[in-house]
Structure 1
Amino acid sequence: MAILGNIIKGFINLKDTLSSETNHIEAQEKVLKNLLEKAKNTQFGKKYHFDAILLSDDIQESFADLVPYFDYNSINKKWWNKLHQGEENVTWPENPSYFALSSGTTGKSSKRIPVTDDMIEAIRQSGIKQVSALSHFDLPADFFEKEIMMLGSSTDLKERNNHLEGEISGISASNIPFWFKGYYKPGEDIAKIDDWDERIEHIAKNAKNWDIGALSGIPAWIELMLQKVIEHHNLENIHEIWPNLQVYTSGGVAFGSYEKSFNALMGKPVTVIDTYLASEGYIATQVRPETDAMQLNTNHGIYFEFVPFHPDYIKEDGSLKKRAPSLSLQNVKPNQDYILIISTVSGAWRYLIGDTIRFTDVEKAEIKITGRTKFFLNTVGSQLSVNKMDDAMKHLEKKFKTTIPEYTICAKRLEDREFYHCWYLGSELQDINNEEVANELDLFLKEANKNYKVARSKALKGVKVSVISPDIFYNWSGKNKKKGGQVKMARVMKEKKFREWEEYAKNNNF
């Protein structure tokens, strides 16, 4: 009998029973007021008259009127850069204890995003919410005695100018509470190994010593880790070595495009729980098994705004135009795409995080990630978003009985000076006919997206497809950024970067 597991499960169930239902609109109003109160005497707060906003009849409206949008480049250049020069009280009253390094999907150079002690606490509170929500998933008591494999970036943070730097997954793992360390794998020593391949090698060698009940990490890197463990121990599937694996907490990207390839590594079904932890904060987590949508963490240090996702509001570089309207939570509608804007206890203000989302349930504040603003492909009016691209990959997987965990696309002119959509698809099944795949992809997108269909009848001449090994995508990420952690493959590339990608793919497609 799982005595400890029953105690933990009982505590979680009791905590969930005693917790009152959150009024998300009221929670957001309170969060914004608290943010403004705490930051009103900062350099940023004085510049944008936070004290006056707090006295207004409609704080949310006044905040949107007086404070402009920022993306990373603009807020870093005007404000966060001062932190690196030793200035204090810049956009938040406390100096950050950490900076989260994030190259994301956009390039080699790392962004440095402040992470304050207030943000660490906000992430902790959101983590408690996630654990409490496990009571809804009908997990057996013995699950709560098993170990948890958290695969993120290295926890060996680098000291720099009185703060520590690393990716947000490494920062979070380095702040796990003492009571959790007995459950946490791969353990502190292995987690500190900076080289991803070496760390995975150690995980594979030690896998037989652990009783893993849950996995947590970005799907692409979790899959590669599982493949390495399976290969090292000559297994058919991961459940042969971790028979009690029951839960996978996904994060970083939408899980949908990885579902088929992930399940292929399993010996039996596992419960998948989506989460949304970004370098800028813990945005949302799935709290119900009836849906794979995630609930915004509306009362833990982040105020959300939503800009309707429309080409007229987005600049070519993916940033927002000044006149783009924003909505607060009480004004959004379900089943419409929005650009996510956040203000946080780390001193990010009206910050374009770069993701687009869609509400599935407004009252419950539940969302799905639908793409990236920079990955919205609108060359010659095609208006393709990442969720439509993901849907197309699922269709191709079913049609051709394969898995396509990775892909990238570029709209480029070919020798005839006409525009084509050029796709690279990562699949182990490489003997399929590229032209046949291109035709099927084209037909699906014409049916799924009327703007794409119109573009194909006019300026978009055709579709080209190259099917290559998924390993090329992962090795490209390792070459250009760093394997593991928060790194994700760019779904849409500009022509200059795409030329580099094509050359790399050509030279490494053995």
Structure 2
Amino acid sequence: MAILGPIIKAALNVHEYFTHVDNHVEAQEKVLQNLLDKAKDTAFGENYDFNSILASDEPAAMFADAVPYHDYNSMDEKWWQRIKKGEENVTWPGLPNYMARSSGTTGKKSKMIPVTDEMLDAIRAAGTRQVSSLTNFDLDAEVFEKEALALGSSTDLDEVDGFKVGEISGIAASNIPEFLESKYRPGSEISRIDDWDERVERIAQESGDWDIAMISGIPSWLEMMLKKVMDHHGVDSIHDVWPSLSVYTSGGVAFEPYRKSFEKLFSKPVQIVDTYLASEGFIACQQRQETDSMQLITDGGIYFEFVPFKPEYIEPDGSISQNAPALTMAQVEKDVDYVLIISTVSGAWRYLIGDTIAFTDVDHAEIKITGRTKFFLNVVGSQLSVLKMEKAVQELQEQFNTSIKEFTVYARQDDQGDFYHYWYLGTDTETSEEDLKEALDQSLQEANKNYKVARTKALKGVKVTKVDPDIFAAWNEHQKKKGGQVKMAKVLSDDKQEAWEEFVTNYKG
């Protein structure tokens, strides 16, 4: 009989009640006020006269007028390089102890993003908010006294120029409060293992001694880990190893393409809860069972602005035009794609995180990630977002009763000068590439009027290649990106296309 579970659940329910945000507009106004006040005496704050913004009757509007948009390159070149050389009080008071390494899915080299103690506090608070919100879901009380496994990056952080450097999940895990360590798996020893395969092997070896009720991680890598655990024990369901497993906290990529393959691993219902943790901070998490949308963390260490996602505001490199308008929480509308802009307690200011979102419920500040500014196929006016791509792939799965967990796509001219979208679908289906092509093309035309118009003009069509689903993980490993927060690029950049085609040709499985 569970004794601690009901007590823990009741305590979390109280926490949820007292930390719940009713007015997200007011919460964001307070966050902006706090950010400006804390940073007014930094080099950045003095340069953009934060004191005058604070004295203004409309600080949000004056802030937007005074401070330009930044992407990583402009923020790093003008400001963060000074921090990396040891200068204090540049974009945030003091000097951060950590740098988050983010290779992401674009860019040729890793980004190094400052992580302050205030940001770690904000991430911890958001994580506690997420756990306490699980009381809103239909879960047995005993779940709350079991163990949780997080498959993130290594907590064995590098020392670089006086900073501790690692991926944000590893940095956050290395700062888990002591009172939670007894419930956290795989534990500090295994979490410090840098080699992903070795870490997963150790997890499989130790898994029989754990009573896991909650798991978290990026779907592609977590699925591989679960299969490794099942193979180690010679079972057909992960519930044969962890019968208490009831919650999977997903994140990093859309879960839906993985649903069918995950359901094959489960023999009991598992509640899927979505989260949005980026190298720049904990952005949002699902907090209600009646929706699969995520609620922005509007009272934490991040101030949000929203630029309408229109081609005229997007530069060729995926950055934002400086004349693009930015909206506040009070101005956004439902079902409109926005480029997400953030200012944070780590000293990122009007920073283009690279993601596009749409509000599903403005009053609840609930969103869906709709894509990336760089993962946006606008060749010959097709204006195809990642969300539209993922929905089309989901329709393929349903139409042909198959699984397509990963895909990548790019646009290019053939030898005759005609434009095509080249799709690579990770699937074991026996459905022909021709049938997949026709269904995919039809789905995209029905879902996107701009794509339909482009198909009558310069965009000649779609070409589909079926590939082994494991090739995407192999490609990432080939690119020296494996495990942790690594994600496959949904749209391949020009400089990667030839290498990808060669890799596909030579791939042996």
Q: Same fold (TM over 0.5)?
A: yes
Measured against aligned partners, the alpha-carbon deviations of 1:256-281 in whole angstroms (never above 9, x if no partner) come to 22222222221122001111110000
Code of the aligned partner of 2:171: I
**Aligned runs of 1:66-215 on 2, under 5 Å?**
66-215=66-215
Measured against aligned partners, the alpha-carbon deviations of 1:71-90 in whole angstroms (never above 9, x if no partner) come to 00110011001111121111
- Give the whole-Å Cα distance in 2 for the aligned partners of 1:17 and 1:50: 34
Q: Which residue of 2 aligns with 1:449?
A: 448
**Aligned runs of 1:192-341 on 2, under 5 Å?**
192-341=192-341
**Displacement, 1:465?**
0.5
Q: State whether residues 295 and 365 of structure 1, in contact with CA within 8 Å, keep that contact through their aligned partners in structure 2.
A: yes
**Displacement, 1:401?**
1.5
Q: Which residue of 1 aligns with 2:433?
A: 434
Q: Which residue of 1 aligns with 2:4?
A: 4
- Give the whole-Å Cα distance in 2 for the aligned partners of 1:19 and 1:105: 34
- Give the whole-Å Cα distance in 1 for the aligned partners of 2:326 and 2:279: 22
Code of the aligned partner of 1:508: Y
**Displacement, 1:161?**
2.1
- Give the whole-Å Cα distance in 2 for the aligned partners of 1:151 and 1:369: 22
Q: State whether residues 153 and 486 of structure 1, in contact with CA within 8 Å, keep that contact through their aligned partners in structure 2.
A: yes
**Displacement, 1:18?**
4.2
Residue 288 of structure 2: SS of its match in structure 1? coil
Q: State whether residues 230 and 236 of structure 2, in contact with CA within 8 Å, keep that contact through their aligned partners in structure 1.
A: yes
Q: Which residue of 2 aligns with 1:16?
A: 16
- Give the whole-Å Cα distance in 1 for the aligned partners of 2:221 and 2:320: 31
Q: State whether residues 154 and 193 of structure 1, in contact with CA within 8 Å, keep that contact through their aligned partners in structure 2.
A: yes
- Give the whole-Å Cα distance in 1 for the aligned partners of 2:8 and 2:497: 50
Q: State whether residues 19 and 129 of structure 2, in contact with CA within 8 Å, keep that contact through their aligned partners in structure 1.
A: no
Q: State whether residues 107 and 480 of structure 1, in contact with CA within 8 Å, keep that contact through their aligned partners in structure 2.
A: no
Q: Which residue of 2 aligns with 1:35?
A: 35
- Give the whole-Å Cα distance in 2 for the aligned partners of 1:108 and 1:197: 24
Q: Which residue of 2 aligns with 1:480?
A: 479
Q: Which residue of 1 aligns with 2:389?
A: 389
Residue 331 of structure 1: SS of its match in structure 2? coil
Residue 324 of structure 2: SS of its match in structure 1? coil
* Counterparts in 2 of 1:107 and 1:129: CA distance versus 1, 3 Å: same
**Displacement, 1:108?**
4.7
- Give the whole-Å Cα distance in 2 for the aligned partners of 1:458 and 1:352: 33
- Give the whole-Å Cα distance in 1 for the aligned partners of 2:229 and 2:108: 29
**Displacement, 1:198?**
0.9
Q: Which moved more, 1:182-191 or 1:9-18?
A: 9-18
**Displacement, 1:398?**
1.1
- Give the whole-Å Cα distance in 2 for the aligned partners of 1:41 and 1:450: 49
Measured against aligned partners, the alpha-carbon deviations of 1:442-494 in whole angstroms (never above 9, x if no partner) come to 01111111111111111011111011111110011112132111111000013
- Give the whole-Å Cα distance in 2 for the aligned partners of 1:118 and 1:424: 42
- Give the whole-Å Cα distance in 2 for the aligned partners of 1:91 and 1:441: 46
Q: State whether residues 21 and 299 of structure 2, in contact with CA within 8 Å, keep that contact through their aligned partners in structure 1.
A: no
Q: State whether residues 103 and 481 of structure 1, in contact with CA within 8 Å, keep that contact through their aligned partners in structure 2.
A: no
**Displacement, 1:21?**
4.1
Q: State whether residues 469 and 509 of structure 1, in contact with CA within 8 Å, keep that contact through their aligned partners in structure 2.
A: no
For structure 1, the 5+ residue unaligned runs are none
- Give the whole-Å Cα distance in 1 for the aligned partners of 2:269 and 2:259: 11
- Give the whole-Å Cα distance in 1 for the aligned partners of 2:6 and 2:362: 34
Measured against aligned partners, the alpha-carbon deviations of 1:377-423 in whole angstroms (never above 9, x if no partner) come to 10011110011000011111112211111100010111222111000
Code of the aligned partner of 1:473: F
**Displacement, 1:251?**
1.1
Q: State whether residues 249 and 274 of structure 2, in contact with CA within 8 Å, keep that contact through their aligned partners in structure 1.
A: yes
* Counterparts in 2 of 1:26 and 1:412: CA distance versus 1, 3 Å: same
Q: TM-score, normalised by structure 2?
A: 0.98
Measured against aligned partners, the alpha-carbon deviations of 1:74-123 in whole angstroms (never above 9, x if no partner) come to 10011001111121111001211100000010145110000000101111
**Displacement, 1:7?**
1.2
Measured against aligned partners, the alpha-carbon deviations of 1:134-168 in whole angstroms (never above 9, x if no partner) come to 11012111101211110000000111222200000
Q: State whether residues 261 and 404 of structure 1, in contact with CA within 8 Å, keep that contact through their aligned partners in structure 2.
A: no
Q: State whether residues 108 and 481 of structure 1, in contact with CA within 8 Å, keep that contact through their aligned partners in structure 2.
A: no
- Give the whole-Å Cα distance in 2 for the aligned partners of 1:495 and 1:70: 23
Q: State whether residues 101 and 167 of structure 1, in contact with CA within 8 Å, keep that contact through their aligned partners in structure 2.
A: yes
Root mean square deviation of aligned Cα? 1.1
- Give the whole-Å Cα distance in 1 for the aligned partners of 2:494 and 2:126: 40
- Give the whole-Å Cα distance in 2 for the aligned partners of 1:358 and 1:179: 37
Code of the aligned partner of 1:462: G
Q: State whether residues 304 and 328 of structure 1, in contact with CA within 8 Å, keep that contact through their aligned partners in structure 2.
A: yes
- Give the whole-Å Cα distance in 2 for the aligned partners of 1:257 and 1:388: 13
Code of the aligned partner of 1:479: H
